[in-house]
Amino acid sequence: MNLLLKDFLDMMAAEIGASNNTIEAYQRDLLQFFEYNQKELKDVSQQDISDYMQYLGRQGYAPKSAARKLSALKDFFKFLYTEKEITKNPTANIIAPRLEKPLPKFLSANDIENLVNKAQEKKDAIHIRTATMLVLMYACGLRISELVALPEGCINFDKKQILVRGKGSKERLLPVAESALAKILDYLPYRENFIRGRKSIWLFPSLKAKAGHVTRDGFFKNLKDLAVACGIEPNKISPHVLRHSCATHLLHRGVDLRLVQKMLGHEDIATTEIYTHIMPEDLMSQISQKHPLAKYLKK
């Protein structure tokens, strides 16, 4: 058994290029199974694997951890089957534990205001650009890929709208808050610092980036630096968190779910519905008091 395990781990390293950490994790998970089930490998059945998964549940392992351990077993027994060490793969029809989707993280409106104010404390071009991007992303719920690649002419200041090219090159026209438009107008004189007389089609150009505009990583790094300066844990913030914050705050203030779906550019409303699970206590209290069914239930 140990020899077959070594052969499997060697294959993972040589043919698949698995990292040392991955190989060590596989080894731990497989040795744990061997300790639980001490049958010969050729005698391990589907029921044995099912029993082991139930055992992990009783031991308090989270679905994510159990799924990882099952993945190691599947890869190992698939290897044994391919190498003709066993005649039947006992893991072939075993389904991994269902993983719950984590709720989106979001910041409070005060946190976002603090980030913007901190960015604007320094009047240099980079901080002004970061503040403008932050406000625009939060105001419109943009994806980071949409934000960094905005063309210079995407905004109609008269109609207070922005044209965004999203996934699959699908365009959507979004309203822009006046405060966000004001930030963009304040930023435009600083834009010259990032082109220095050259021509650029981008709203947020960059002299260093190959794409010609600010990169995702560049904006993310600036965002992390702002978080540290504001006393916000860096792991709690990302461009995606700003997008989540926009959606969450809109729903909490009564904006229709389908309008939020359209704003975010979600194909399926089920993707937007995850935000409805983040219900603050005051909103739950309002519903229990004012929903038409509340009086009926009291009766």
Burial class (CB in 10 A: 0-12, 13-18, 19+), 1: exposed
Tell me which DSSP letter residue 202 carries. Answer: B
Are 93 and 77 in contact, with CB atoms under 8 Å apart? no
Catalytic residue among 78, 240, 252, 262: 240
Catalytic residue among 69, 143, 183, 244: 143
Are 133 and 147 in contact, with CB atoms under 8 Å apart? yes
What stretch of H or E contains 175? strand 171-175
Radius of gyration of the chain (CA): 26
Catalytic residue among 183, 191, 243, 244: 243
Burial class (CB in 10 A: 0-12, 13-18, 19+), 207: exposed
Catalytic residue among 167, 170, 291, 295: 167
Look up 138 and say whether it is catalytic. no
- Tokens encoding 192: 């010259």
Look up 129 and say whether it is catalytic. no
What whole-number distance in Å separates Cα of residue 94 and Cα of residue 70?
9
Look up 143 and say whether it is catalytic. yes
What whole-number distance in Å separates Cα of residue 72 and Cα of residue 16?
14
Look up 81 and say whether it is catalytic. no
Look up 243 and say whether it is catalytic. yes
Catalytic residue among 275, 277, 290, 295: 275
Strand 155-156's sheet: what is its strand order?
Answer: 155-156, 161-165, 171-175
Residue among 158, 131, 239, 148 nearest 201 (CA): 148
Look up 127 and say whether it is catalytic. no
Give CA 119 to chain center in angstroms: 24
Cα 102 to Cα 127, 157, 274, 277: the distances in Å are: 32, 38, 9, 11
Catalogue the active-site residues. 143, 167, 240, 243, 266, 275
